[in-house]
Amino acid sequence: MSVTNGNIVLVGFMGAGKTTLGRALARRCGMTFCDLDDYIEQHTNQTIAQIFATQGEEAFRATEQAALDEVLKLKDTVIAVGGGTPCFGNNMEHMNQHATTIYLNAPTHTLIKHIRMGTSVRPLIAGKTDEQLAEYIADTMKHREPFYQKARYTLNIDTITTEQQINHYVEMLRKITDRQDKQDSLESPAPSKPQLTIIKVGGKIVEEAGSLERLLSDFAHIGGHKLLVHGGGRSATNIATQLGIETKMVDGRRITDEAMLRVVTMVYGGLVNKNIVAKLQAQGLNALGLTGADMNVIQSHRRPAQPTDYGFVGDVDSVDADRLAALIKTGITPVMAPLTHDKQGNMLNTNADTIAGEVAKAMTRHFDVTLVFCFEKPGVLRDEHDDSSVIPHITATDFKQLVTDGTISGGMIPKLQNALSAVDAGVSQVVITQATALGQGQGTKITK
């Protein structure tokens, strides 16, 4: 459906930058700017808070609806719509019919930062700590996120505290609206996909308190939707030793007999997973620990016993991307343990790299996916003894040449093959980096 009046509507949570970016976009494009809350105040001589307090919610919603109907009749106007407005009645559908709607999606820490910088703080958030604000935002977004996602486009916002940052996002908004203008005589394009960053972390990073705290802090500050996949093999080995259970390895891979299966289920699905979930809750993320058996999100089959019988080890058959996506879009951050199931009552120990890769591929139906593997090295190295020799970018063609000349060998070959497979399946990029550099744009990027 084409937009005939040239209007642009910005929706999103309080602090997402609707007014700041809306005003700047209107100036850039020679349009008029209208804030719905200000429009109501100008035409009623009351703020929305006063209307709600003196007349009640029903009168407030009626006033809001009437004002929205009027501003959508304007032409060539950038309209900033209050955080809750899209979530009532058919407001989101109504806006989609009369304007180019764009969801400004900002992470919790950015929302808090922008709210704190505001010239006036609403009574709703006055006196709250950052932790209390994060909890309020998470609870509210559970209801609002599904409505925001109905906007035609999504623009992920990091921060807009400088003129340079504002100009950057205004240019991105302008490109979105230019794209819409070119569709005026065509059916409206599907909304751009929201971003999802999948982080896989393992080794001593998740088993040492200091490194884990830093990693989870960096993870919490990544913009957009997030999902964490973790390992925990060292912890499993330590617990097995304490229980008198022998750890058997073949070519670096764990043999998972019945006794070891009990250990890894306890350690991966319990000790390590719930420790991470608790720490992410402290960071303001509403995290949920999952194995593949939970909600049947990852189903596997037991690996054949030939040529090596690894025991209760799973090879992934399917990922329920629809259920995972629905969960994520309610504001939940999944934390996935390296365990799957066979739908016949058996848990299966499953490689965490494999889970991260298969989940990333499946989620491309719903998201623009970036997959990040966190290691103890800063990336793929030209010289394994020189941490400064990071190869910044690898494509499929580069990979073949690097294997041929011996630069890449051993265990790095299957890691990069899995990364390239994910990219071929629609993952935007795969990043191999050091856990301490998460979110800093460092490491090796694998793309087509």
Q: Would the pTM count as exceeding 0.75?
A: no
DSSP SS3 for 314 = strand
Under a CB-based contact definition with an 8 Å cutoff, are residues 335 and 290 in contact? Answer: yes
Q: What is the CATH architecture assignment of 195-376? A: 3-Layer(aba) Sandwich (3.40)
> Taking Cα atoms as reference points, which of 221, 159, 224, 216 lies closest to residue 197?
224
Under a CB-based contact definition with an 8 Å cutoff, are residues 81 and 150 in contact? Answer: no
- CA dist 249 and 246 (Å) reads 10
Under a CB-based contact definition with an 8 Å cutoff, are residues 227 and 369 in contact? Answer: no
Topology classification of domain 8-181? Rossmann fold (3.40.50)
Q: Please tell me the predicted confidence (pLDDT) of residue 122.
A: 55
Q: Please tell me the predicted confidence (pLDDT) of residue 1.
A: 33
> Taking Cα atoms as reference points, which of 349, 351, 352, 354 lies closest to residue 264?
349
Kindly state the tokens that stand for 180: 């819409």
Q: ∠ CA(118), CA(121), CA(124), 5° rounding? A: 140
Q: Please tell me the predicted confidence (pLDDT) of residue 118.
A: 63
> pLDDT per position in the chain (448 positions), as tens?
344 467 899 998 888 889 889 888 888 877 888 888 888 888 888 887 788 788 888 888 888 888 888 888 888 889 999 878 877 777 888 888 888 899 898 888 888 888 877 644 455 566 788 888 888 888 888 888 888 888 888 888 877 877 888 888 888 888 777 755 545 434 444 557 888 999 999 867 888 888 889 899 889 888 889 999 999 989 999 999 999 999 998 877 899 999 999 999 999 999 999 999 999 999 889 999 999 999 999 999 999 988 889 999 999 999 999 999 999 999 999 999 999 999 999 999 999 999 999 999 999 989 999 999 998 888 999 988 898 899 989 998 999 999 999 999 887 888 898 899 999 999 998 999 988 888 777 889 998 8
- Domain edges within the chain: 8-181, 195-376
